[in-house]
Amino acid sequence: MKLFKHLLLYFGSFAVLVFLFTQLDLFRADRVQEFSRDQEERLSDYLTEVFVTSRTLVDDETITAAVDTMTRRLLSTMDEPRYDYTVFVVRNSSVNAFALPGGNIVLHTGLFAFAESPEEVVAVLAHEIGHSEKGHIMHKLVKEIGFGVVFAALTGGDTGAMSEIGRRLITTRFDRAYEVEADAFALEMMEQAGLDPRYLALFFHRLSESDGDVMDRLDFISTHPSNNERRQAALAYETDPGFEPVPLTGLNWELVKGLADR
């Protein structure tokens, strides 16, 4: 009888702890801001080492200069960016781009080879900056794998948790609301940078019209809402009266495309 009481007490206490942890996790899932900047940067450093430096980085002066021009043009619109942004170009044929924690953004060379103009790449880059500035990355992680796992990775350096976080960032997509918000951010950022926001709509249109071979390699397109919805939303964006776009200058786009398509 005494053993039964001890077991009952043990399992009862365990159930209470699980319940409290679950409630705490759910409660704190929307409080990502509680993570310190140092913790997020630690996660960023780890993921950058694993998912960027372990791949073939492009070390070409022409492509690097073009990316610097694009990035500076966009960041010039912001007085106090949330991060010190670093953009990496990875040798990969897929038409893809994604943001890692801490202001690190990865662009695939397939994106450059596919885009018909540098403004299309800038539109995608602005979208990824939008995910970073809006805090979507950490919110996505906490929502998908729980506060506890993310907390373990950030505070204890749990390599298993770190690996799971990295896998989630690469293999899963943002929610519809996050994509809509990042697109809206990109459209406004493009306008503020003096670039025609309709390049984002053009990019989505060309993705939709692509042949099967290209479509099979697309990651950026595999998001919700659909490409057509996002294109329509971008076309509906109204710039301020008198807006006059100023094209990107100082880069040879055909040369950049050729180097990226090697």
Taking a C-beta distance cutoff of 8 angstroms, is the pair 199, 119 a contact? yes
Length of the chain equals 262
Q: What is d(CA 141, CA 163) in angstroms, rounded to the nearest whole number?
A: 12
Predicted confidence (pLDDT) per residue in 160-177, tens digit:
777 777 777 766 677 888
Residues 6 or more apart in contact with residue 181 via CB below 8 angstroms? 130, 134, 136
| Distance (Å, whole) CA 229 – CA 231 | 5
Mean pLDDT computed over 102-128? 94
> Mean pLDDT score of the chain, rounded to an integer?
79
User: Which ranges in the chain belong to alpha helices (H)?
Assistant: 2-28, 37-51, 61-75, 109-114, 118-133, 136-145, 147-156, 159-171, 176-192, 198-208, 212-216, 227-236, 253-260
Neighbours of 212 (CB within 10 A): 7
Please say whether the beta carbons of 179 and 159 come within 8 A.
Answer: no
Q: Point out the least confidently predicted range of 24-33, 125-134, 150-159, 252-261.
A: 24-33
Distance CA 63, CA 80 (A): 26
The fraction of the chain above a pLDDT of 90, given in percent, is 43
More confident residue, 151 or 103: 103
Give the tens place of pLDDT for each residue, 212-243. 444 444 444 444 457 778 888 899 999 999 99
Per-residue pLDDT, 190: 97
Residue 200 has what pLDDT? Answer: 94
Q: Is residue 79's pLDDT more than 70?
A: yes
The model's confidence at residue 110, banded by pLDDT at 50, 70 and 90, is very high
Span 78-106, average pLDDT:
91
Query: Residue 152 corresponds to which tokens in the numbers above?
Result: 């373990």
